[in-house]
Amino acid sequence: MDSLELAGVWTGLAISLLIFSMALGDHWLARLGQHLLVGAVMGYAALMAWQQVLLPGLVLPLLANPAGDPMLWVAAALVLLLLAAALERLLAMGAPGPLPGGWRLVLRRLGQLPVMLMLGVGLAVLLVGALQGTLFPQLLYTVRTGVEWNAALADMIAGVALLLITTGALVAFTVQPHHLAGQPRLLQRLINSWIWIGRRAIWLAMGVLFARLAASRISLLAAEFIYLRQAMEQTGLWGFLQSIGRGGAGG
């Protein structure tokens, strides 16, 4: 391992230990580790955005053909506007006094435009992705599956459970108590039972999601411990601690 790689291992080990020290309480060393980690992540994201998006998709096309697509100039103007507004916010951060006015206030208002565009496009992509990749396939699968009464008992039970859970969750989300007011008592009991099944299904789904989230976090924690062990071995710190432990045990 060369000196540059060794310095990177030492840096990663130091930041990991600083973040792990949060277990001892909220202190400035733990916050320093968090700030270093967030700064490194943001710097890497900015570098990737420049190398993968801005440089090949905006800067190089404008330099090669400035009179080409006019939308590239619009995009460049929005990028510069966002950078200027962000720089003004950074310079004014923590400054005492009233809110800025004049050109600074205008710059802040204009800087909200590219942010709103990015949020709108991002939310639209998430919504379309959820509809096309999750909701519509689940709905089509539920509609096409149905209940085959001449199928095996296990398949029939699975089909009935699928229909009850799916429709029960939809009813639980859409039907409110005032919708049942004035309805026959038998219908109210039927709908309430249906809602009861849907709510339990939603709780079960949320429990499964929480369990998967907890399992993934435990896996990340185990991977972090493995990384710490490997980093301490690469830096020689693990052998140093072992020698201290053997010396203490021998004494």
- In tens, the pLDDT along 234-249 reads 888 888 777 887 776 6
Strand segments (E) across 39-195: none
Cα 112 vs. chain centroid, distance in angstroms?
A: 22
Read off the pLDDT of residues 10-38 as tens digits, 9 standing for 90 and up. 888 888 888 888 888 888 888 998 898 89
The Cα–Cα gap between 78 and 185 comes to: 60
Residue 44, pLDDT score: 92
State pTM to two decimals.
0.63
Contacts 24+ apart (CB under 8 A), 229-235: 231/9, 231/12, 231/13, 231/16, 232/13, 234/1, 234/6, 234/9, 235/6, 235/9, 235/10, 235/13
Neighbours of 110 (CB within 10 A): 14
Read off the pLDDT of residues 94-125 as tens digits, 9 standing for 90 and up. 666 666 678 888 888 888 899 899 899 889 98
- Domain residue ranges of the chain, discontinuous segments joined by +: 146-240
The Cα–Cα gap between 53 and 200 comes to: 45
- Residue with structure tokens 């990991």? 16
Read off the pLDDT of residues 185-235 as tens digits, 9 standing for 90 and up. 898 898 899 889 889 888 988 999 999 999 999 998 898 888 888 888 888
Residue 52: which pLDDT band, with cuts at 50, 70 and 90? very high
Residues 6+ apart with CB under 8 A from 100: 92, 108
Residue 97, pLDDT score: 63
251, pLDDT greater than 60: no
Residue 21, pLDDT score: 86
Q: What is the mean pLDDT of residues 52-67?
A: 89
Residues 6+ apart with CB under 8 A from 148: 155, 156, 159
Residue 215, pLDDT score: 93
Read off the pLDDT of residues 136-185 as tens digits, 9 standing for 90 and up. 777 777 666 666 667 677 777 777 777 778 888 888 888 888 888 888 88
